Amino acid sequence: MNDVKPYPLTISAIRISIAISLLLTAAGVYLLLSWARVDSFAQTKATPLLVAAEALNQRIMAQRELLQACALQPSCAITQDNIEKLREALTQFRSVASENKSEVSLVGAVEYTALELALNRFQASAQSQEDRLTLYIELTSSFQQIEANYAALVTKISTDTLMQKNRFFIWLMGIIAVLVAVAFVSNLWTIMRLRQSNANERKVVTEFEQLARELQKIDAERLDTLLNDTSINRQQRQIYARLKRTFSDLENQKRANDLYKQLYSLIGYEIRGITNTISGGVQYLSSDNDKNGQAMVKEVTTAAQTLAELAENYNRLISQGADSKAHEFSLLSLLSELMLHVNAKAMRNQTPLETLFDETLPSRVEGRQTQLFWVLFLQIADAISRHATQPLFISVTSGAAADAGKTQLTLSLHFLTSFDIALNKLSALHWRELETPTGSKDDLANAVLGSEMGYHSQWHQSGKQVRFQLHFDVKAKNFHASNALLENKKLMLCSEYALRRDVLHQTLTRAGADVSLVSSPAELLTQHPHFHQFDALLLADCFEPSKLRSLAKTVQKQCMQNEAQHGLRPQLIVYNNTLYGHLSHSTNDGANALSPVPFIDAQLSAPMMGFESLPQLASILAAAQHREHDQPTRFLIVEDDRVQQILLKRILAKQEYNADSVSDGADAVAYIMKQRSDIIFMDCIMPGMNGIEATKRIRQFEKNEGISPCTIIGATALSSQNEHQSCIAAGMDFVVSKPYKQDEIIKVINKYAAAQRLN
């Protein structure tokens, strides 16, 4: 930019001009008020000298009239009082005249002396008719001269007053003229300076616009060209030099970030590949091992999963970068992931776990998702480690926060002596707050989450029971609406533990189910004549393998007898909250992968989360009603990793599904063009045609042919939100993480297989 002259219009000049104008205005106002106060006639009449002169004239005239009347009536008498009043008026006039010598001078004015002598002679005489006539003549003679003096005095005072008013007016007009001149000169001067300033401003704006256009297309090479241009001025050179340094710093930082991200992604991907191979191979080989071998398999798998969890969360943090701003996310998904990890932690510590969620929880909230997950998980994991031997009951409730625009969530961890305690009795316990120091951890949590979340924790105790509560505030976008998913469904729930019965009963009845409770397997068997009245029998206790098979076999036998008699048979469902290894293999997300159990129709994974478990149970019951009339669901696996192909086929086989497989996106498109598949598991990243491109082509083929769309489940080892969005945008219905997690696969199958049957 060229050098621009500073604005000549300074603040001092403006202030001086305003000050002069204010002073002149004040003087003008004073003169105007003075001019208005000057009234020629009223002010002349009110002059003390004229007032005294007029009073003297009136007394003389009154005395003359009296003498004239007495001349006609000889009997009339002139009182002394009349003479004295005239003498007082004369004395008063002389006194005022002596005080106003500038207005009138009595030197040489013999008429006033003659008047006084005439009054004296009259008072000294006998006041005869002749004396009265003489006084009348002398008064008349003096009055003529005094009247002439009065007229001259009035003229003189009126002239002086008018001249004073004219002087005020002349000064006022002069000040107004000066004000107009000052205003004119000031405005002219200001306009000239403003024109110059506007010209400079337009010049600056033009140069900034030119600079802005230059910056839109600027790059490092262009900066070098501009810096070598000798025609640019000093300011422009400084700007471009600073931009050059900023460009260099950004480029270096970008290259470093890209390298680190690539490195971190490769590390995470390699860790995932290793854990996929370990988990898949161990699960594939575990069926032939003895009990000791299975225990070792479980330990190895758990270690591999821990490594996978670290890689997954590490990649998530890397994908988010340094941006820790609050954003909108699904609270229910966060709680689901949190409970699965907590359940895995509890299982490793041999700690039984039950959960109960408030039905009015927020669905989507605004906050820091990853930070909140880790703060909660680390606090809960630490609490579980302290009380590893006690059964754990977790409740999640919501309520009003101090901030009217937010909702307070409370996670309560109850470490109990036993699950054999009713829920209402647990709620009625008196809890005493413990003095366990939590301040430092709360301060750290608030530093990570932000103080606006109001995070704090408390420890309480009631006898041998201990409670740990976590409180934090969230800004809710919407709330979870509990639907009557199990309306008109009759369920029989069997559990020996009062707390488990109450928790499951409350969760199921919220969904509209009619639930009957039995407290033992023996009591369950006594109800066999009524089994046909129920849609499902739910076993919710921990059983040893032999006892579970025996009980399931007996119950199924009774169900078949009822079916033969009444034509109806309930589903036998196990709520898989057991610590026995043969029923659960720990998976990468910490949940229980459900292995097939003889004589069991279906299994529900623990812990019970209404917003997830209830749709799963509803799908199981709905699938049972249509299973006899349905065509088998057809699956296609698109996966380039041989181990992952085998693992996914094995998961599907356990659910009695057959699947075809291809190892490339192009092969998948060719397969779909030849035959129908209901559900496709599509790896997103493959050599050749990747899963995203294959999905786009399959969706286009379905649109062109007018056929109902199949369900495409994307699978990716990366946890980047952008990649997940790209998969959904391409036409995928859902995205799961790799390595494949058995419980997640089963949940997805139950959901989308039912949808395909409805279609």
pLDDT band at 693 (very low <50, low <70, confident <90, very high): very high
pLDDT tens sequence across 153-194: 777 777 777 787 777 778 878 888 888 887 788 778 878 878
Highest mean pLDDT range out of 110-114, 144-148, 369-373? 369-373
| pLDDT at position 594 over 50 | no
State the DSSP H helix or E strand holding residue 517, giving kind and residue range, or none if neither. Answer: strand 514-518
Between residues 660 and 267, the one the model is more confident about: 660
Residue 44: what pLDDT?
Answer: 62
Q: Note every long-range contact of 646-651, with CB atoms under 8 Å and residues 24 or more positions apart, other chains counting.
A: 646/280, 646/284, 647/276, 647/279, 647/280, 647/283, 647/284, 647/739, 647/740, 648/681, 648/740, 648/745, 650/283, 650/284, 651/593, 651/740, 651/742, 651/745, 651/746
Residue 588: what pLDDT?
Answer: 36
Residue 26: what pLDDT?
Answer: 82
Residue 533: what pLDDT?
Answer: 86
Average pLDDT over residues 105-126: 77
Give me the numbers of helices (H) and strands (E) for the chain, helices first please: 22, 20
Distance CA 362, CA 358 (A): 10
Between residues 249 and 263, the one the model is more confident about: 249
Q: How many CA atoms lie within 13 A of 343 on its CB side?
A: 28
pLDDT band at 592 (very low <50, low <70, confident <90, very high): very low
Between residues 305 and 62, the one the model is more confident about: 62
Which SS3 state, helix, strand or coil, does residue 431 take? coil
Burial 695-722 (b: 16+ CB within 10 A, else e): bbbbbeeeeeeeeeebbbbbbbbbbeee
What region, left, alpha or beta, does residue 3 occupy, with left being phi > 0 and alpha being psi -120 to 50 degrees? beta
**Cβ neighbours of 606 (radius 10 Å):** 25
| pLDDT at position 591 over 50 | no
Which domains, and CATH codes, for the chain? 325-479 (3.30.565.10), 490-626 (3.40.50.2300), 635-757 (3.40.50.2300)
Distance CA 449, CA 368 (A): 7
Which SS3 state, helix, strand or coil, does residue 571 take? strand
Residue 528: what pLDDT?
Answer: 83
| pLDDT at position 444 over 50 | yes
pLDDT tens sequence across 719-750: 667 777 888 899 999 988 887 888 788 888 87
Between residues 442 and 628, the one the model is more confident about: 442
pTM metric for this prediction: 0.51
Say which residue the tokens 């992952």 belong to.
644
E strands within 684-743? 711-716, 734-737
Highest mean pLDDT range out of 144-158, 308-322, 352-366? 352-366
Extract the tokens encoding 179: 């004000």
Average pLDDT over residues 598-622: 76
Residue 589: what pLDDT?
Answer: 37
Residue 139: what pLDDT?
Answer: 79
pLDDT band at 713 (very low <50, low <70, confident <90, very high): very high
C-alpha distances in Å from residue 64, one per residue of 85, 145, 184, 719:
13, 15, 67, 130
